[in-house]
């Protein structure tokens, strides 16, 4: 009795043997001919003539369901079959090529010992290859040499050449050009030969679960156009990621691709790769991802994976799963010129090899939260155009480069950069946050442009942080910081560089011109000057730090006036306008006093020479006023202790010096209006003397 009798589909004439003809392994050539003869006689397909590429060919039309469970299909051999109804004969090696199956087909636990050729076969109803095995031989694989240079996309010419020659290649499991109009199941299927699905079309759900592809696999040009199994908004009902495969139209669950796999110009209408392992090179060149989401959950790429020219047009809806998602990605990941039209979800992904996002466009929200990049990541000339991009709590264990990229709103909060980080020539268009980020090596922002509010609050910079080019000149006009900037509570262990090659510039006017050309917002100028000052102080460069301090105070002074003007301009109503005017006048007076006494006299306590010069000016001009008031206007006198008036300029200069320094020898005293002038000079002198002591102590004794 046949060992496979439990399937209930044995050949009656040979059912009493160990294996009937349908289930017998390792058939002889004669048995192979008998197998295909009996197979066709059992299912009685109709023979019809169709036109393929301008040629007339005959095909078999199976009008009733096919139960081939456990069948062992031998190596291909010449078979002749005569349609009992139409009196038409079909002759050939591959009975399933161009065939049409109108009802359900089951190849459950079937074994294909030879080549399984389903080239341009049409399956109108459901199809299953549950636990089937494909053991045919491998042959020349066209896709293999077409894609030797992954830098070149699959062009129409290449595809045309491939399509013309593929008919000559019938090796392995060949489903090229097949049409699957019903549900398709490949569960625990083993492909011990090349698996070719190029240009096939899946119109309903297809599931590859626990499938093993041991040889080269190709899905080039395939259209997965099935619909979602459940008409519910994914995510809003709390559906976890691990359950999404149950509703997705295309699923690769627990699949292992041991060799190269190609998805060149493949179209996915929603796809899930869950617990899938790509052991060889993986190519998604020109692939088109549409639908609600494209998820790569706990996916492992052991070799480079290419997404050049791939398009991710994921629908944006209320569901947070309406996006592209990756989890636990191992192996090199390469996106070149890929386009994510919807959201892109990389939450919690671990990239264990190099990652590249070259000239890639993210047109929806992008999430790299909690990611770990074990090796270098290169995000070159990419565009993050969604409302929000997040690298929150991500870890970059190797070099990270985002050069020439463009971001709208982006968050790097709590991220850790363990090696060098580069943001050269990056454009940040909306709010940018680097809160409590750890930069353990050098970080560079040369040429970066921040068009909106930017914060680095609480971040730690272990090495020198460069925000300008080393060879930057004053001729470069474009501002780099357009809005508020915050470095509150930051720790610059080896300093920050906002000056480039102007670190040793002593001309305050040139330095102010430089900062004004880089910052279009006064608050950001103040913050940059504060950080640069602290950086110089940490290095012990006191003179350079003093210059930054003077510019910082001047910027604060300008900011107060600017804010007073804005308050006046925005005030509405007589009462508010009056308050705004008074506030503006008070601010103006304070600013002018500060400008004269603090900046003009000592440059905010940093210039002792200027303080001494101002003191000398007060003494000399006071002496001149004493002379004029005494000798010309007769408004008072300076009398010696003997009562003799002082009229010569030298004694008046001596009196001015003694009064300014508040020594008060008592050998001279003023009368009339000179009392007021002397008191004013004495008060000014007291302030200036204290200032001289402070400035000199600051400069020479610290």
CA-CA distances (angstroms) from residue 380 to 335, 383, 403, 407, 442? 10, 9, 5, 12, 18
DSSP 408: E
HEC string of 19-56?
Answer: CCCCCCCCCCHHHHHHHHHHHHHHHCCEEEEEEECCEE
Residue 202 bridge partners (DSSP): 180, 224
Higher pLDDT, 85 or 39: 39
Asked if 399 contacts 376 with a C-beta cutoff of 8 angstroms, the reply is: yes
- Position 243 scores a pLDDT of 55
> What is the torsional sign of CA 485, 491, 497, 503?
positive
Residue for token digits 């050998």? 667
Q: What's the token pair of residue 112? A: 């294909």
Q: How many Å apart are CA 544 and CA 583, to the nearest integer?
A: 35
First to last CA, the chain: 104
Residue 674 bridge partners (DSSP): none
HEC string of 565-590?
Answer: HHHHHHCCCHHHHHHHHHHHHHHHHH
Asked if 319 contacts 234 with a C-beta cutoff of 8 angstroms, the reply is: yes
- Position 329 scores a pLDDT of 64
- Tell whether the model's pLDDT for residue 389 goes beyond 90: yes
- Position 303 scores a pLDDT of 78
DSSP 389: E
- Position 128 scores a pLDDT of 97
Looking at CATH, the fold of the domain delimited by 608-700 is given as Helix Hairpins (1.10.287)
**DSSP-based helix, strand, coil % in the chain, nearest 5:** 30, 25, 45
Q: What is the mean pLDDT of residues 430-458?
A: 95
- Position 360 scores a pLDDT of 86
State the pLDDT confidence band at 148, using cuts at 50, 70 and 90: very low
Higher pLDDT, 585 or 230: 585
Q: What's this model's pTM, rounded to 2 decimal places?
A: 0.66
Question: Minimum mean pLDDT among 7-21, 181-195, 459-473, 642-656: which range?
Answer: 459-473
- Position 69 scores a pLDDT of 96
Q: What's the token pair of residue 72? A: 């062992």
> What is the torsional sign of CA 559, 563, 565, 566?
positive
- Position 331 scores a pLDDT of 60
- If one counts every other C-beta atom within 10 angstroms of the C-beta of residue 94, the result is 18
Q: How many Å apart are CA 135 and CA 157, to the nearest integer?
A: 32
Q: What is the mean pLDDT of residues 375-388?
A: 91
Mode of pairing for the β-strands spanning 116-117 and 173-174: parallel
Task: Indicate the burial class of 542 (C-beta count within 10 angstroms; 0-12, 13-18, 19 or more).
Answer: middle
- Tell whether the model's pLDDT for residue 582 goes beyond 80: yes
- Position 474 scores a pLDDT of 46
Half-sphere exposure of 381 (CA within 13 A, CB side): 5
Residues of the chain with pLDDT > 90, as a percent, come to: 55
220-248: per-residue pLDDT in tens?
A: 999 998 877 643 333 333 444 445 556 77
> What is the torsional sign of CA 398, 403, 406, 407?
positive
121-137: per-residue pLDDT in tens?
A: 999 999 999 999 999 87
Q: What is the mean pLDDT of the chain?
A: 85
Task: Indicate the burial class of 528 (C-beta count within 10 angstroms; 0-12, 13-18, 19 or more).
Answer: buried
Q: What is the mean pLDDT of residues 657-680?
A: 89
Q: What's the token pair of residue 530? A: 């504060």
Q: What is the mean pLDDT of residues 644-673?
A: 89
Element spanning 173, H or E: strand 173-174
Mode of pairing for the β-strands spanning 491-492 and 668-670: unpaired
Q: What is the mean pLDDT of residues 500-511?
A: 89
DSSP 125: S
Asked if 583 contacts 591 with a C-beta cutoff of 8 angstroms, the reply is: no
Residue for token digits 């008070």? 586
Residues of the chain with pLDDT > 70, as a percent, come to: 87
Q: How many Å apart are CA 554 and CA 293, to the nearest integer?
A: 54
- Tell whether the model's pLDDT for residue 305 goes beyond 50: yes
Which SS3 state, helix, strand or coil, does residue 461 take?
strand
589-609: per-residue pLDDT in tens?
A: 999 999 998 899 889 988 888
- Position 237 scores a pLDDT of 38
Q: What's the token pair of residue 569? A: 């301009």
- Tell whether the model's pLDDT for residue 164 goes beyond 50: no
In degrees, rounded to 5, the angle at the alpha carbon of residue 679 between the alpha carbons of residues 675 and 683 is 175
Structural domain boundaries in the chain: 553-594, 608-700
Asked if 335 contacts 360 with a C-beta cutoff of 8 angstroms, the reply is: yes
- Tell whether the model's pLDDT for residue 309 goes beyond 90: no
- Position 310 scores a pLDDT of 78
627-652: per-residue pLDDT in tens?
A: 999 989 888 899 888 889 988 999 99
- Position 143 scores a pLDDT of 47
Q: How many Å apart are CA 555 and CA 496, to the nearest integer?
A: 19
Angle formed by the axes of helices 608-627 and 674-700, to 10°?
Answer: 170
Task: Indicate the burial class of 444 (C-beta count within 10 angstroms; 0-12, 13-18, 19 or more).
Answer: buried
Which SS3 state, helix, strand or coil, does residue 303 take?
coil
Q: What is the mean pLDDT of residues 356-370?
A: 86
- Position 325 scores a pLDDT of 67
- If one counts every other C-beta atom within 10 angstroms of the C-beta of residue 6, the result is 10
- Position 362 scores a pLDDT of 86
Q: How many Å apart are CA 395 and CA 368, to the nearest integer?
A: 10
- Position 229 scores a pLDDT of 60
């Amino acid at each position: 009795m046949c060992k496979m009798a439990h399937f209930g589909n044995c050949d009656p004439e040979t059912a009493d043997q160990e294996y009937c003809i349908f289930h017998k392994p390792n058939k002889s050539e004669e048995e192979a001919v008998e197998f295909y003869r009996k197979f066709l006689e059992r299912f009685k397909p109709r023979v019809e003539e169709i036109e393929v590429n301008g040629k007339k060919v005959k095909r078999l039309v199976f009008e009733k369901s096919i139960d081939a469970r456990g069948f062992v299909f031998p190596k291909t051999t010449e078979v002749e079959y005569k349609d009992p109804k139409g009196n038409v004969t079909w002759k050939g090696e591959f009975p399933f090529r161009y065939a049409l199956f109108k009802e359900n087909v089951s190849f459950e636990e079937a074994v294909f010992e030879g080549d399984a050729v389903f080239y341009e076969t049409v399956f109108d109803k459901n199809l299953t290859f549950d636990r089937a095995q494909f053991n045919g031989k491998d042959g020349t694989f066209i896709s293999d040499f077409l894609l030797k240079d992954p830098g070149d996309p699959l062009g129409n010419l290449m595809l045309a050449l491939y399509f013309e020659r593929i008919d000559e290649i019938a090796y392995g499991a060949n489903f090229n050009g097949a049409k699957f109009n019903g549900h398709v199941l490949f569960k625990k299927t083993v492909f011990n030969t090349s698996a070719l699905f190029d240009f096939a079309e899946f119109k309903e759900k297809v599931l590859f679960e626990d499938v093993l592809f041991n040889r080269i696999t190709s899905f080039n040009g395939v259209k997965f156009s099935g619909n979602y199994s459940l008409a519910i908004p994914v995510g809003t009902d709390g559906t976890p990621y691990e359950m999404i495969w149950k509703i997705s139209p295309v699923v690769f669950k627990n699949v292992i691709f041991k060799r190269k796999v190609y998805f060149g110009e493949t179209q996915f209408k929603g796809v899930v790769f869950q617990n899938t392992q790509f052991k060889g090179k993986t190519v998604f060149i020109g692939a088109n991802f549409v639908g609600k989401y494209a998820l790569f959950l706990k996916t492992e790429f052991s070799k480079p994976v290419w997404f050049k020219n791939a398009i991710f047009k994921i629908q944006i809806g209320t569901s947070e799963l309406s996006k592209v998602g990756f989890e636990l990605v191992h192996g090199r990941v390469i996106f070149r010129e890929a386009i994510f039209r919807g959201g892109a979800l990389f939450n919690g992904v671990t990239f264990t090899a190099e990652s590249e996002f070259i000239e890639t466009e993210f047109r929806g929200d992008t999430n790299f939260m909690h990611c770990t990049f074990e090796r270098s990541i290169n995000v070159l000339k990419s565009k993050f155009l969604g409302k929000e991009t997040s690298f929150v709590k991500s870890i970059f264990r190797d070099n990270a480069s985002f050069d020439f990229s463009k971001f709208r709103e982006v968050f790097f909060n709590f991220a850790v950069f363990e090696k060098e980080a580069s943001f050269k020539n990056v454009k940040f268009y909306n709010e940018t946050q680097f809160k409590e980020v750890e930069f353990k090596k050098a970080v560079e922002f040369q040429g970066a442009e921040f068009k909106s509010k930017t914060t680095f609050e609480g971040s730690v910079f272990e090495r020198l942080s460069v925000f300008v080019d080393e060879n930057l000149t004053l001729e470069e006009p474009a501002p780099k910081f357009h809005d508020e900037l915050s470095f509150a509570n930051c720790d610059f262990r080896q300093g920050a560089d906002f000056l480039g090659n102007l670190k040793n510039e002593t001309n305050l006017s040139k330095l102010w011109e430089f900062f004004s050309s880089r910052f279009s917002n006064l608050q950001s100028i103040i913050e940059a000057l504060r950080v640069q000052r602290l950086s110089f102080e940490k290095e012990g460069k006191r003179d350079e730090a003093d210059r930054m301090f003077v510019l910082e105070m001047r910027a604060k002074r300008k900011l107060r006036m600017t804010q007073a003007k804005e308050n006046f301009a925005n005030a509405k109503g007589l009462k508010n306008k009056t308050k705004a005017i008074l506030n503006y006048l008070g601010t103006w007076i304070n600013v002018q006093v500060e400008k004269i006494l603090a900046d003009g006299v000592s440059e905010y306590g940093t210039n002792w020479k200027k303080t001494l010069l101002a003191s000398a000016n007060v003494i000399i001009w006071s002496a001149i006023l004493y002379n004029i008031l005494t000798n010309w206007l007769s408004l008072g006198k300076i009398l010696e202790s003997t009562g003799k008036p002082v009229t010569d300029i030298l004694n008046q200069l001596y009196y001015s010096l003694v009064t300014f320094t508040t020594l008060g020898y008592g050998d001279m005293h003023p009368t009339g209006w000179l009392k007021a002038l002397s008191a004013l000079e004495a008060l000014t002198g007291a302030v200036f003397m204290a200032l001289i002591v402070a400035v000199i102590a600051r400069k020479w004794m610290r």
